[in-house]
Chain A
Amino acid sequence: MQRQRFYNLLTVALLLAVTGGGLLYTQLAASAYIQRIVVGLGISIILVVSLNLSNGFTGVFSLGHVGFMAIGAYTAAILTLPLSLKRVNLPDLPGWLAEVQLSFLPATLIGAVLATIVALLIGISLMRLSGPYVAVATLGFLVIVQVVLVNWASMTRGSRTFSGVPSFTTLWWVWGWAILTVYAIWRLVNSSYGRRMMAIRDNEIAAQSLGISVVRSRIIAFCVSAFFTAVAGSLWAHFILSFSPKAFYFVETFSIITMLVLGGSGSVSGSIVGAVFITVLSEVLRNAERGISIASIHIPPMYGASQILVAIVFIVVIIFWPKGLLGDREIPFNRLWSRLLPPKNEKQGFKKEIPF
């Protein structure tokens, strides 16, 4: 047991060192373009990891999470919008809101709490559904959010561009939240709550027969994941700076689900791998589709080829790894450590993977 704890500490230290080093390098030496990609990647990681808690670990296949992202984005943006701009852009705000201007953290938290409350309210009824029914019902939620955003013009400017959001999102905010999200969800998944969620996913009836409250566990997963999704929404809003409701619809939904499925639902590290993979792949291809000259060979620009190639890669991955790159397993750090630093008085290696 002590040995495992030591390995776990090593893993955490290694991951933090790699992430911290990478971020420091990005901040100090990388171009603004690479910095933007790293910020976008951090937001994607939060979105995918939190969606995974509900879709991958609990088996509640939600298609409505982008709705929570929208709630987080709009709430936080309304709260942080400078007062002078508020009078111009949102003249019909109720009085108490019109005079409020918050800093980034409280605005983000309020947006996230609001999304959690909404998740709780709809979760009470929706979490009684299973399988494809819950997917369709959450899709309905996404449509409702979209209609509300478009029609509640006094708060959201309707379908017109919501602009003037202050540029608060930095590398450190995003990755601070990303690390917190990964840590929180990791701990939750490996607690007794998480075990119940997975039991429900794997066999609902068996779980029930053991006395697990299916609805309660699902609601917990749904709410926690809504919270972090809304945080990502706020980070996104203060990164992109001007947006309209259509940014929070099917395109965004499926882009997150692609990352999730490709990395492996049911694996936290898989979510991260999926987000990194898709982000880097689409950026590389986006630059490549503009035409390449290698020596004397010149390939003319083929705009749109990047989306097609990403889709092909996705299909190929799903054919060869139907459960995603990592499936429902985690990256086996402990096995790596036990090979590098074999315990002296125990038999070599662990057969079982023990989470930290």
Chain B
Amino acid sequence: MKTRSFLTTLAFTTLLVFALVALTTAAGAESIKIGAIYNLTGGMASLDVPASNGAKLAAKEINSAGGVLGRELELVMYDGKTDAATIGNAATQLVESDKAVIMIGFTDSDMTLAAAPIAAKAGIVFLTSGATSPRLPEQVPGYLYMACFGDNVQAAAGAEYAYNEMKARTSYLLIDKGMEYTLGLGKYFKERFMELGGKIVLEDTYQTGDTDYSAQITKLKRLGTRPDILFISAGPDEVGVIVKQFRESGIEKPIFGGDGDDTPLLVQIAGKGADNTYFSTHSLMDAQLGTEAVKKFIAAYQAEYNAPPENAFAGLGYDTVKLLADAIKRAGSDDPDAIRKALQETKNLPGVTGVITYQPGSRIPQKGVTMIHVKDGKFTLAAEVVPQKVPAP
């Protein structure tokens, strides 16, 4: 090869290394630094971007009201790029160069587990906005907290609502086996529904990304009996298509699901078929039908981003920052350990997505579950459910 082009390459690479060193040594201020990693690009962006917007909005509101302990909250935001290695790097930077006192982020357990152990090793709490796997906290003992309820809680709420309110006794169960979330949700629903005395007449699976569900539908129709309800444990990308195809084949029974259904895609894709669908989620993001807190949040979000909140994850991101601000205030300092103790003692903190309390020893909040009923193509409030009993994670 030509020595010249080799030298050019070498020079360019050296320049890049210098740029890297220069960029990572940033100056600090007197603000309280909150590390935030969300997947602003890549596969998880549709959930993480609203969550990060909610978090930014909350920080802005707190700061314009005078900050916490007289100091400003500074959200140090990194893009996780839906890539575990990048997330690990960003978490290390937050610990090391940004000196974050607490970290927040993510709506997915894979991603959360890529960052939380690094925070825990540095003695910093990781508070996830929307990763709902109830097994998460035990996987990073002591330092991983959730701002949302666990999937076992929402599945139990769905099962109890179906059994007690809708008098459903038999159910069909369809699970996406490509996601930790859908596998867990389906499993917990089955456990609680059977415990109540219900029966699962048929259990079937599909794979994330499938577009044709005729095989599953045929199997269900060949069954002698018709179940009272259908529980479909699906991610936001597939749920609309599934509901549409089931309805088009003439199945009119109520369809149940989890917070993966909380997406505009459900009605957009399934159209009229989405009616008579019930799902559990964090709160009803509706400017008319929501609670007072939700209405206020939607107005503020609309003013800031010129668009209404895309889904409940925006509210979860908002509550995440409110939750940690409350903890820092009660801790009286920005010492990571004091924050952790104060966070654990959080009691009856009102948020957009419900009232948050951590029971002693539990890092999953006790929160009510919102059941949504889709009526005439609109999400309406069916009930607020606090499940009587929750399956073990």
Q: Does the CB pair B89–A242 fall under 8 Å?
A: no
B110 contact set on A, CB distance < 8 A: 161, 242-244, 246-247
Segment of A63-71, A182-190, A321-329 engaged in the interface with chain B: A321-329
In the docked arrangement, what's the CA distance between A325 and B178, Å? 39
A276 contact set on B, CB distance < 8 A: 13
A33-68 residues at the B interface, CB under 8 angstroms? 33, 36-37, 40
In the docked arrangement, what's the CA distance between A290 and B96, Å? 17
Q: Which one, B23, B117, B183, contacts A284 given CB within 8 A?
A: B23
Q: Does the CB pair A164–B5 fall under 8 Å?
A: no
Q: Does the CB pair A159–B178 fall under 8 Å?
A: yes
B223 contact set on A, CB distance < 8 A: none
B208 contact set on A, CB distance < 8 A: 159
A244 contact set on B, CB distance < 8 A: 110, 180
Evaluate whether A290 and B95 lie within 8 angstroms (CB atoms) in the complex, with A158-B177, A240-B114 already known. no
Q: Which one, A31, A240, A321, contacts B84 given CB within 8 A?
A: A240
A299-356 residues at the B interface, CB under 8 angstroms? 301, 303-304, 307, 321, 325-327, 329-332, 335-336
B348 contact set on A, CB distance < 8 A: none
Interface readout for B68-94 with A: 1 if CB under 8 Å, 0 if not? 000000000111010111101100110
Evaluate whether A325 and B9 lie within 8 angstroms (CB atoms) in the complex, with A32-B95, A159-B177, A163-B139 already known. yes
In the docked arrangement, what's the CA distance between A40 and B84, Å? 11
In the docked arrangement, what's the CA distance between A36 and B94, Å? 13
The reply on A273 being an interface residue by CB < 8 A is yes
Q: Does the CB pair A290–B78 fall under 8 Å?
A: yes
In the docked arrangement, what's the CA distance between A129 and B349, Å? 64
Q: Does the CB pair B177–A284 fall under 8 Å?
A: no
Nearest Cβ distance between residue B5 and chain A, in whole angstroms?
A: 7
A139-187 residues at the B interface, CB under 8 angstroms? 150-151, 158-161, 163-164
In the docked arrangement, what's the CA distance between A239 and B9, Å? 29
* Of B79, B93, B96, B114, most A-chain CB atoms within 10 Å: B79
Q: Does the CB pair B139–A33 fall under 8 Å?
A: no
A247 contact set on B, CB distance < 8 A: 84, 110
Closest to A243 in B: B84
Closest to B19 in A: A284
Interface readout for B55-68 with A: 1 if CB under 8 Å, 0 if not? 00000000000000
Evaluate whether A304 and B40 lie within 8 angstroms (CB atoms) in the complex, with A32-B95, A284-B16 already known. yes
Q: Does the CB pair B84–A33 fall under 8 Å?
A: no
Interface readout for B1-45 with A: 1 if CB under 8 Å, 0 if not? 101011001000100110110011000000000000000110000
Q: Does the CB pair B79–A32 fall under 8 Å?
A: no
Q: Which one, A243, A288, A301, A326, contacts B1 given CB within 8 A?
A: A326
The reply on B263 being an interface residue by CB < 8 A is no
The reply on A14 being an interface residue by CB < 8 A is no
The interface size of chain A toward B, counting residues with CB under 8 Å, comes to 49
Q: Does the CB pair B5–A161 fall under 8 Å?
A: no
Q: Which one, B89, B93, B183, contacts A160 given CB within 8 A?
A: B183
Q: Does the CB pair A150–B207 fall under 8 Å?
A: yes
The reply on A204 being an interface residue by CB < 8 A is no
In the docked arrangement, what's the CA distance between A292 and B26, Å? 10
Closest to B122 in A: A32
A286 contact set on B, CB distance < 8 A: 79, 81, 86, 89
Evaluate whether A36 and B89 lie within 8 angstroms (CB atoms) in the complex, with A158-B183, A307-B81 already known. yes
The reply on A287 being an interface residue by CB < 8 A is yes
Q: Which one, A31, A161, A280, contacts B17 given CB within 8 A?
A: A280
B6 contact set on A, CB distance < 8 A: 326, 331-332
Q: Does the CB pair B183–A33 fall under 8 Å?
A: no
Evaluate whether A33 and B89 lie within 8 angstroms (CB atoms) in the complex, with A243-B84, A290-B78, A303-B79 already known. yes
The reply on A241 being an interface residue by CB < 8 A is yes
In the docked arrangement, what's the CA distance between A288 and B83, Å? 18
8 of the cross-chain contacts (CB-CB < 8 Å) are A151-B177, A160-B180, A161-B180, A273-B13, A286-B79, A289-B79, A290-B78, A304-B41
Q: Interface of A with B (CB < 8 Å)?
A: 31-33, 36-37, 40, 150-151, 158-161, 163-164, 240-244, 246-247, 251, 273, 276-277, 280-281, 283-284, 286-290, 292, 301, 303-304, 307, 321, 325-327, 329-332, 335-336
A32-B92, A36-B88 given. 12 additional CB < 8 A pairs?
A33-B89, A151-B177, A158-B177, A159-B208, A160-B183, A160-B184, A240-B88, A240-B114, A242-B113, A273-B9, A286-B81, A329-B1
Q: Which 7 A-B pairs have the closest CB atoms?
A: A242-B113, A160-B180, A303-B40, A304-B41, A329-B1, A287-B23, A303-B79
Q: Interface of B with A (CB < 8 Å)?
A: 1, 3, 5-6, 9, 13, 16-17, 19-20, 23-24, 40-41, 77-79, 81, 83-86, 88-89, 92-93, 95-97, 109-110, 113-114, 117, 139, 177-180, 183-184, 207-208
